[in-house]
Amino acid sequence: MQALRETTHWAGNAVNHTYLLDGTNLVAYIRAGTDSPYYFKSPIKGFDKRARKFELVTPNPFEVTEVASHVVTVEGSRGAVYTVDTSEGTCTCPGYTFRGTCKHVKDLETV
């Protein structure tokens, strides 16, 4: 995942935000002037960067440095690692992103 801060110089009152991209899919963004990311229920496919300027953000503001006790990492069936928030019932896997539910959340609910 890449975090990109927009640096485009706009005419008028437009502001630039910070975006989280998974390949070309827009997963989340942080509004200018705020610190909290907004995650989309379904990624926006084919995020268009034409005629816009961006810079890579390091460290990635979307990465969680402290993990709460209700946040668990799980390994997916193909080896990818996902984060499940057991109190919110959410997961970072593609299945949850597209359907709003997944086996990782369901498996942890039964534990």
pTM of the model: 0.55
My answer on whether 45 and 79 are in the same domain is no
Provide the domain count of the chain.
Answer: 2
My answer on whether 11 and 47 are in the same domain is yes
Print pLDDT tens along the chain (111 aa): 889 999 999 888 888 999 999 888 999 999 998 888 888 888 899 899 998 999 998 877 777 555 567 788 887 777 788 888 888 889 999 888 888 889 888 887 765
SS3 103: helix
96, part of any domain: yes
Token digits of residue 30: 């942080």
pLDDT of residue 67: 54
Token digits of residue 92: 């970072």
Closest-CA residue to 21 (of 41, 38, 43, 36):
43
pLDDT of residue 110: 65
> Would you say 76 and 82 are in contact if contact means Cβ atoms under 8 Å apart?
yes
> Would you say 102 and 93 are in contact if contact means Cβ atoms under 8 Å apart?
yes
